[in-house]
Structure 1
Amino acid sequence: MSQSERAPCSPASQGRAAPPRAMAWRRRRTAWLRFWREYRRNRAGVVGLAGLMLFVLLALAAPLLVDPAQLSLTGAPGTPYQPPSARFPLGTDNFGRSLLDLVIWGSRVSLTVGFLATLVSVTLGSLVGILAGHFRGWTATVLMRITDWFLVLPTLVLAIALAAVLSRSTLTVIVAIGVTAWPTTARLVRAQTLAVEARPYIERAKALGGGHGHIMLRHVLPNVMPLVLAQTTLLVANSIITESTLAFLGLGDPTTVSWGAILQDAREAGAISAGVWWYLIPPGLAIALVALTFTLCGRALEGVLNPKLRERR
């Protein structure tokens, strides 16, 4: 046996603890691995995640796959209403533009609006929910009555009203969707905040002098984030559908190409009465598929992050 094998470990090396950052990284890595093991058990969630990655990669690669000059009304490469062919797999529109190029380019706007509108909605809903759940009293009463007022109003009608009043732009669509879709998140986050603040360690933190900001940021927010994450994936699908609806009604940005704008152009061109089915199916199918992928991911996340749903499986 070598000398290194016979020599016992020194007390210093035995009592030496790992650095706090290394321990925190190890815990996060273990938590992510455990999360992924639970997530991949849900086959529908894996399929949704694969489809979502495909759509995101397609949107990111759109400038490399499509020449923006061919999307202009004067630089169209084909003739109007060409059916699907080898040159144009999805046919052409009423201006002779390739519908495949339009669908690929439109994914950038639709996904961007979906993500940013959801970010606005989730941020606003989480802020209202945490404040209402933490402060209680008149603060919670005022915030919840405002939330109830937004819940009573139809989301789509309110978004249409905002988009009609404000200037027609992509930012307007994002704001219109974001400020109308937050009440559901606010109610869910408030319920979770009340459950978290009823735990003993919150009372211990208050007894040790923890202020409102410390309680909400260090204790409440990390515990409501799983719920917020699952809600986010579900809201993105709704935001994309709402954006497509606003664009279809002519309330979107007329200078950008999105899936809803393609459908709106098809409606104005009379594609439905003319029987030009290839003008309608590709953008509509893209909207349905991306909404389905986000819904599958959201349901899978909800099953992983909710212990009660995990036990039922």
Structure 2
Amino acid sequence: MTTESTAPDERVPEGPPLGEEKSAPPRLGSARALAWRRRRQSAARFWREYRRHRAGLAGLGLLLLFAAVALTAPWTVGSDVQSVTDAPGRPMEEPSAEFPFGTDQFGRSLFGLVLWGSRVSLLVGLLAAALSVAIGALVGITAGHFKGWYATVIMRVTDWFLVMPALVFAVALATVMERSLLTVIVAIGVTAWPTTARLVRAQTLAVESRPYIERAKALGGGHRHIMSRHVLPNVMPLVLAQTTLGISSAILTEATLAFLGLGDPSLTSWGGLLQDARQAGAVSSGHWWYLVPPGLAIALVALAFTLCGRAVESVLNPRLGVAR
């Protein structure tokens, strides 16, 4: 007598037909490609938000115009515009079709001098602001991370720089150092960093209190790893906004130092033009065309950087509620 098996039927899954292979799963991009894709998406999202600020777009347009003027100055006006011996016009000539901004006391075209001076003023503003923000970010991150006696000492030094008039300190440095473009950049950079240091330290303390910082320390993350991989990316938006706001202040400080005769006399800048106008007696003699173009250029570029900085700050921190 035969017995039938009550075990359920076991079915063998059918494989692919002969001659065909199973398709491999789609390959994911590398970590670097994924990181770049995320950066592009973040940049696109930032630009979408930035375009909603009409004041920021106006400031950006002005900056692009000044940048184009500064970059093309060697071809549009040439370096000969600074020459005193080959001046094409008469001294203190009023604005005309040949000289739109008039001439200076040597007969040089003020239009060409203003265009050429934009190179020095913008360069000093950018480099001095970058130096001050770099110092402030370094001081702020280290003071917020290490705390203890180091933070106490470094923040008291910061407070000392903060209460000292930055312009007076910059004038003192520019006086005792050699008169050059590097001196102006250093004098501005080492006096304008305390505000950035204060802001970055506050942001660093907020980041250090988050739980993932504790997990990173528990997993063996050292000081350098915590500051460079976790703290710095979180304070970079603040640093970027502070940089755009600091450039306008740096340009104004450079113009002030040049007006006081502490700039490089061999270079043409907007502040240097104002100082030349003062020495030539343009104020007392009523030669307004010697004063208005460089002064207006300084005001416009400072306004443009301020508008861009406010827009960037509003995009990176929507809680500020800056009017669009």
Q: Normalised by the shorter chain, which TM-score bucket?
A: over 0.9
1:194-222 superposed Cα distances (whole Å, 9 cap, x missing partner): 01111111111101100000000011001
1:89 equivalenced with 2:100 (yes/no): yes
Q: CA deviation at 1:46?
A: 0.5
Using a 3 Å threshold, how does the CA distance of structure 1 residues 23 and 240 change in structure 2: closer, same or farther? same
Correspondence for 1:274: 285
> In structure 2, what is the Cα distance between the partners aligned to 1:10 and 1:96?
83
Q: CA deviation at 1:311?
A: 9.0
Alpha carbons 2:314, 2:322 under 8 Å: kept: no
1:302 equivalenced with 2:313 (yes/no): yes
Given candidates 182, 192, 197, the residue that maps to 1:181 is 192
1:22 equivalenced with 2:33 (yes/no): yes
Q: CA deviation at 1:21?
A: 2.1
> In structure 2, what is the Cα distance between the partners aligned to 1:139 and 1:275?
56
Given the two structures, how large is their TM-score scaled by the length of structure 2?
0.91
Determine helix, strand or coil for the equivalent of 1:134.
Answer: helix
Determine helix, strand or coil for the equivalent of 1:32.
Answer: helix
> In structure 2, what is the Cα distance between the partners aligned to 1:310 and 1:25?
30
Determine helix, strand or coil for the equivalent of 1:302.
Answer: helix
Correspondence for 1:64: 75
1:12 equivalenced with 2:24 (yes/no): yes
Q: Which amino acid aligns with 2:258?
A: A
Given candidates 33, 52, 56, the residue that maps to 2:63 is 52
Given candidates 226, 232, 245, the residue that maps to 1:221 is 232
Q: CA deviation at 1:86?
A: 0.7
Q: CA deviation at 1:138?
A: 0.4
> In structure 2, what is the Cα distance between the partners aligned to 1:72 and 1:64?
16
> In structure 1, what is the Cα distance between the partners aligned to 2:132 and 2:22?
56
Determine helix, strand or coil for the equivalent of 1:12.
Answer: coil
Q: Which amino acid aligns with 1:217?
A: S
Given the two structures, how large is their TM-score scaled by the length of structure 1?
0.95
Q: Larger % of helix: which?
A: 1
> In structure 2, what is the Cα distance between the partners aligned to 1:192 and 1:70?
48
Q: Which amino acid aligns with 1:208?
A: L
Q: CA deviation at 1:24?
A: 1.3
Q: Which moved more, 1:16-25 or 1:42-51?
A: 16-25
> In structure 1, what is the Cα distance between the partners aligned to 2:92 and 2:274?
14
Q: CA deviation at 1:13?
A: 2.5
Using a 3 Å threshold, how does the CA distance of structure 1 residues 218 and 91 change in structure 2: closer, same or farther? same
Q: Which amino acid aligns with 2:318?
A: P
Using a 3 Å threshold, how does the CA distance of structure 1 residues 195 and 256 change in structure 2: closer, same or farther? same
Q: CA deviation at 1:290?
A: 0.2
Q: CA deviation at 1:146?
A: 0.5
Correspondence for 1:117: 128
> In structure 2, what is the Cα distance between the partners aligned to 1:266 and 1:210?
59
Determine helix, strand or coil for the equivalent of 2:229.
Answer: helix
| Matches for 1:286-301 after TM superposition, within 5 Å | 286-301=297-312
1:198-253 superposed Cα distances (whole Å, 9 cap, x missing partner): 11111111011000000000110011000000000110000000000000011111
Using a 3 Å threshold, how does the CA distance of structure 1 residues 268 and 17 change in structure 2: closer, same or farther? same
1:233 equivalenced with 2:206 (yes/no): no
| Residue segments in structure 1 that go unaligned for 5+ positions in a row | 1-8
Q: CA deviation at 1:119?
A: 1.2
1:160-187 superposed Cα distances (whole Å, 9 cap, x missing partner): 1111111111111101000000000000
Determine helix, strand or coil for the equivalent of 1:218.
Answer: helix
Determine helix, strand or coil for the equivalent of 1:116.
Answer: helix
Q: Which amino acid aligns with 2:314?
A: G
Identity of aligned residues (%): 70
Alpha carbons 1:304, 1:310 under 8 Å: kept: no
Q: CA deviation at 1:28?
A: 1.0
> In structure 1, what is the Cα distance between the partners aligned to 2:23 and 2:150?
56
C-alpha RMSD of matched pairs (Å):
1.5
> In structure 1, what is the Cα distance between the partners aligned to 2:80 and 2:92?
19
Q: Which amino acid aligns with 1:13?
A: P
Using a 3 Å threshold, how does the CA distance of structure 1 residues 264 and 312 change in structure 2: closer, same or farther? closer
Given candidates 208, 213, 216, the residue that maps to 1:205 is 216
**May I ask how many residue pairs the two structures share in their alignment?**
305
Q: CA deviation at 1:19?
A: 2.1
